[in-house]
């Protein structure tokens, strides 16, 4: 019961899940790209900016932390997990340990992190009250290289299911994230073909591991054309049709919910795509967002490491969360970007 309550809380309308679990390396690169020193202290400050944004709970139900964040505190000494809970956010933890080389193909990577997983989950639940976790598998599309390989899909799906099994046994909701990368020259049809293969295998493995689908959140990539596809990006309508049709073909109605990642899409595109999917509903599962870049890339640009822009950066962040929440309601329009307080855009 506890698990389904957590799922329901994560999908409370119109809120979504904030991904702020970028590893020191990934977040470090994003900071450095904006001319911000990639130190642990700058990562801490940036995360503080996000989590202390006033009114965040109106649009965000939970935040996914990197384990580094669990060890960090706000400037006033409050541990991050406590600060999130005080702000009515559920706390989640990324528990995979990143990517390592694959035995199947030199250009493929396998997610690591099953070692000690149960103990890590237990410790984080007891000490920090985490209610959900996240594990990300990654699949690269490259037809000339034959990627993703079937072996990679099988291994990553098997690991996702093992992780999910341990989570439900420990009373923690698993966010299962098989990300099919947008990077590449592939068409949207090719992306749909790979998504179907991946989702089918992940769901089959979850079934084999007796993981109840209603206790699982699928963190899905959207079916989009590759970022270097010669025909350019597909319309939001087409993204919605392709993504939904692949989901309806592969995912049971009983799944707890689906939260999309943004995967390098612009904030406006990711938001419009979610909105187009919601508008085609009702669907058997709640559709939501669990964006990282599409929520906080503009925030990083505004802040730039300069606290003179702290409040403005938080306003940019709340605006992005507001737009994504509108998409959850199927009420997002580009006009809301300019005039978020107009009646049709207010929540
Ligand atoms: P993006 O929205 O930037 O893809 O990040 C989501 C995420 O959590 C990746 O693991």
Q: What is the CATH number of the domain that holds 142?
A: 3.20.20.70
Q: Enter the pTM of the model.
A: 0.98
- Token pair for 100: 């390592």
User: In 4-32, which positions are buried (b, 16+ CB within 10 angstroms) versus exposed (e)?
Assistant: eebbebbbeebbbbbbbbbeeeebbebbe
Instruction: Give the model confidence (pLDDT) of 249-280 as tens digits.
Output: 999 999 999 999 999 999 999 999 999 999 99
Position 40 pLDDT exceeds 80: yes
Instruction: Give the model confidence (pLDDT) of 192-233 as tens digits.
Output: 999 999 999 999 999 999 999 999 999 999 999 999 999 999
pLDDT band at 241 (very low <50, low <70, confident <90, very high): very high
Q: Output the DSSP codes for 85-147.
A: HHTT-EEEEE-S--EEE-SS-TT-EEE---TTHHHHHHHHHHHH---EEEEEEEE--BGGGTB
Instruction: Give the model confidence (pLDDT) of 63-100 as tens digits.
Output: 999 999 999 999 999 999 999 999 999 999 999 999 99
| Section 48-55 average pLDDT | 98
Length of the chain measured in residues? 347
* C-alpha torsion sign, points 125, 126, 129, 131: positive
- List the one residue out of 227, 238, 291, 239 whose CA is nearest residue 260: 291
Residue nearest to atom 8 of ligand 1 (CA): 19
Assess whether the C-beta atom of 184 lies below 6 angstroms from ligand 1. no
pLDDT at res. 1: 52
Total structural domains within the chain: 1
Mean pLDDT of the chain: 97
CA 206 – ligand 1 centroid, Å: 22
pLDDT at res. 281: 97
Annotated catalytic residue within 48, 108, 177, 201:
177
Mark whether 2 is an active-site residue: no
Give the atom of ligand 1 at the shortest distance from the alpha carbon of 297: 3
CA 65 – ligand 1 centroid, Å: 12
Position 16 pLDDT exceeds 80: yes
Mark whether 15 is an active-site residue: no
Give the position of tokens 């199947």. 104
Assess whether the C-beta atom of 262 lies below 6 angstroms from ligand 1. yes
**Domain enclosing residue 87, as ranges:** 2-345
All residues at 6 or more sequence positions from 322 whose CB lies less than 8 Å from its CB, including other chains:
58, 59, 340, 345, 347
Triad 219, 289, 48: Cα angle to 5°: 105
| Section 19-32 average pLDDT | 96
């Amino acid at each position: 019961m506890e698990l389904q309550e957590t799922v329901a809380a994560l999908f409370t309308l119109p809120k979504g899940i904030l991904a702020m679990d970028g590893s020191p390396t990934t977040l470090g690169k994003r900071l450095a790209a904006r001319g911000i020193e990639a130190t642990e202290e700058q990562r801490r400050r940036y995360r503080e900016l996000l989590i202390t944004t006033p009114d965040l709970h109106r649009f965000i139900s939970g935040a996914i932390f990197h384990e580094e964040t669990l060890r960090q505190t706000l400037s006033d000494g409050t541990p991050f997990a406590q600060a999130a809970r005080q702000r009515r956010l559920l706390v989640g933890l990324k528990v995979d340990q990143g990517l390592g080389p694959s035995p199947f193909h030199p250009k493929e990577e396998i997610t690591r992190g099953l070692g000690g997983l149960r103990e890590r989950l237990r410790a984080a639940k007891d000490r920090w009250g985490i209610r959900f976790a996240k594990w990300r598998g990654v699949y690269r599309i490259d037809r000339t290289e034959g990627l993703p390989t079937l072996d990679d899909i099988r291994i990553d799906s098997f690991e996702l299911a093992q992780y999910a099994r341990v989570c439900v046994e420990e009373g923690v909701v698993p966010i299962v994230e098989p990300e099919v990368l947008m990077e590449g020259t592939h068409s949207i049809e090719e992306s749909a073909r790979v998504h179907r293969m991946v989702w089918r295998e992940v769901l089959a493995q979850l079934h084999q591991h007796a993981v109840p689908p209603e206790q699982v959140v699928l963190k899905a990539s959207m079916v989009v054309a590759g970022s270097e596809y010669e025909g350019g990006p597909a319309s939001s309508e087409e993204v919605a049709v392709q993504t939904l049709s692949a989901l309806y073909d592969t995912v049971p109605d009983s799944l707890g919910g689906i939260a999309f990642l943004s995967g390098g899409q612009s904030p406006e595109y990711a938001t419009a795509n979610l909105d187009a999917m919601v508008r085609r509903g009702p669907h058997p599962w709640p559709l939501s967002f669990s964006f990282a870049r599409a929520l906080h890339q503009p925030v990083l640009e505004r802040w730039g490491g300069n606290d003179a822009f702290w409040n403005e950066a938080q306003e940019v962040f709340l605006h992005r969360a507001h737009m994504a929440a509108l998409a959850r309601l199927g009420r997002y329009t580009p006009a809301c970007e300019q005039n978020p307080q107009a009646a049709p855009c207010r929540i």
